[in-house]
Structure 1
C-alpha cells in the first residue's frame, strides 16, 4: 500500500499535507510524532475513513483505494481504530466473527474458512477463554484484544493499527507487538501502526515515519530516523538516543529542559 502526496483533514482544514508513506508486504511501518502531528488522520485516510483532499492512495496492482467499493476494500485493508463502541448483548466470539463479514456472500450464508480463522485469531490474541463472555463486561485491555482479534479475522493483506497498545498493561503490550511482528514475518502482511512509545516503535518496526505538524520530516529504518538530531526538534524537548550494543535496540530518553530527566 502506498500514499503519495496526501493532503487530508476535517471540514476543509488540512491536518496532513503532502505526506507519502509506503507499506510493504512483510514489513512493519510505525508512524511516530508529537500529539497533533497528523499520524492518526493519515492512517484513517489511508483506510478511506476520510477522503483525501489531494494525493493518491493505492494498493498493489495500482488499484486506487477511492475506486474500491467498501466491501472490496474491507477484503484488502483492516483498520483497528483508537475508539470503537462497545456493543451490548453480544459475546466475545460474536464480535470476533464480525471480522468475517466481508468474506460472506451478500445473500444467504457461507464462510467455510470462518470458524478456523476465528478460532486461530482468538488464540493468537489470548481471548479464547473469554469466548462466551459479554463484551460489555470486559476491561479496557480485554476489549482491545477482542477488537484486534476481530480485525485479524478480516484476514487482509494490509493491517492498520491506530495506537493499538492503548489500555493494555505491559504484558499485553509486549504480546501484541509480538503478534504484529509475527504477522509481518510469517504471514507477509503489510502493517502500518501509530505508536507513541518511541522504544516500542524502534523495537517492532522495519521502517519509521516521523510526522511533525502534518508533514513527513523523515522516513526510513529506525536507526536513521530515530536520532537525537531529528527527534529533539520534532518533540520540542532534548531527546537522548542510545543504541544497546548487546541487543541492537534503540532506547530514547527525554531531558526536560530545566526540570531534570524524564523517560520518553
Structure 2
C-alpha cells in the first residue's frame, strides 16, 4: 500500500524542466532512499512531496487526495519534512526547537497543551537528546543538532518523515548515529521514511526500498539487493564499480573504481524505467 504517491508529476524551476511524468509510490512502513547524481531531481521531488514546490503538471497524492489542495495544517499532521541544512535562531534551546513541531496541532494563541508537552518530551527522549534538552542548539555537535531537528519532526506526531540528505556535512560517526536513529524509528514505530541519500552504501544498508533517478526519471526501483548492481551504477552514475555483500549485514556494498569508459547502452540508460522482470534478468545474468 501507499499513502504517498505521484501521478504524471512534472516539476520545473522557471522554464527549466527537472522532472517529467513521474509515477512513484512510496511503500508504507519502509525506509525509501532516493539516489542519483547531482541534478537528478531527488531533492526537487522530495520538496514537491512535502508541498513545498508546486507541480507544473500532474500531482502528488496523500491518502488519495491531491496534497496541494489540502490545508497546510492537515498535511503537517500527516507528514514532516527535514530540509537540507536547517538553521535555528541563535540561543534557541533543544526543547524550544522541538516544541515548534507541535504547531500543526495548536489552537488559539499557540499555548502548549498537556498532549503537546507529552509529545515534546517523548520526541526528545526517543532521539536520545534528554541530557541536551535545555542546551542551545548552536552549542551542539553536528550529530546532536541533526538529532534535535529530527526530534522536532517527530514531535509533529506524523507517520511519515521526509528527510533531505540528513547526513550532509557530518563526520562518519555522526552519519552512522543519525542513520541508526532513523532505522530505530522505522523498526520500532513503523514510520514511513523517505530520504535523499548521497552515500550509496548507507542507502543499501538502511533502506528497504531504493529509487535510482537520472534526469528526473526513475531508472531502477525496488529492494537494494535487486537495484544495487554494477549496471545500475554505470547507467545512473556513469561509474565503474563492483558490488559485494557486506560481510556483516549482507547488504550490497559498492566498491567504485573509476568512471565508466563509455556511456551505457541499456534501455535504462536512455530513460526507460527498468521493470522488475528486467532487473531480475540482469541480476541473474551477473550472478
TM-score, with length taken from structure 2: 0.84
> Tell me, what secondary structure is at the counterpart of 2:37?
coil
Equivalent position to 1:84, from 67, 83, 86 = 86
CA RMSD of aligned residues (A): 1.8
The 1:245–1:130 alpha-carbon spacing in structure 2 relative to 1, beyond 3 Å, is closer
Residues 182-197 of structure 1 correspond to what in structure 2 (within 5 A)?
182-197=184-199
1:220 and 2:219 correspond: no
Q: Aligned partners of 1:80, 1:165: CA distance in 2, in Å? A: 11
Residues 127-206 of structure 1 correspond to what in structure 2 (within 5 A)?
127-206=129-208
Q: Aligned partners of 1:190, 1:226: CA distance in 2, in Å? A: 21
1:51 and 2:54 correspond: yes
List runs of 5+ in structure 1 lacking aligned partners: 259-264
- Report deviation, 1:135: 2.1
> Tell me, what secondary structure is at the counterpart of 1:242?
strand
Contact 1:25/1:184, CA 8 A, preserved across alignment: no
* Residues 63-122 of structure 1 deviation map (CA, whole Å, 9 limit, x = unaligned): 210111111111111110002232123211100111011111144635322222222221
Contact 1:144/1:167, CA 8 A, preserved across alignment: no
The 1:110–1:245 alpha-carbon spacing in structure 2 relative to 1, beyond 3 Å, is closer
TM-score, with length taken from structure 1: 0.90
User: What's 1:119 paired with?
Assistant: 121
Q: Aligned partners of 2:248, 2:141: CA distance in 1, in Å? A: 37
- Report deviation, 1:243: 2.1
Contact 1:8/1:17, CA 8 A, preserved across alignment: yes
Equivalent position to 2:9, from 3, 6, 10 = 6
List runs of 5+ in structure 2 lacking aligned partners: 261-287
Q: Aligned partners of 1:149, 1:244: CA distance in 2, in Å? A: 30
* Residues 160-211 of structure 1 deviation map (CA, whole Å, 9 limit, x = unaligned): 0111112333333223222222322222221111111111101111110000
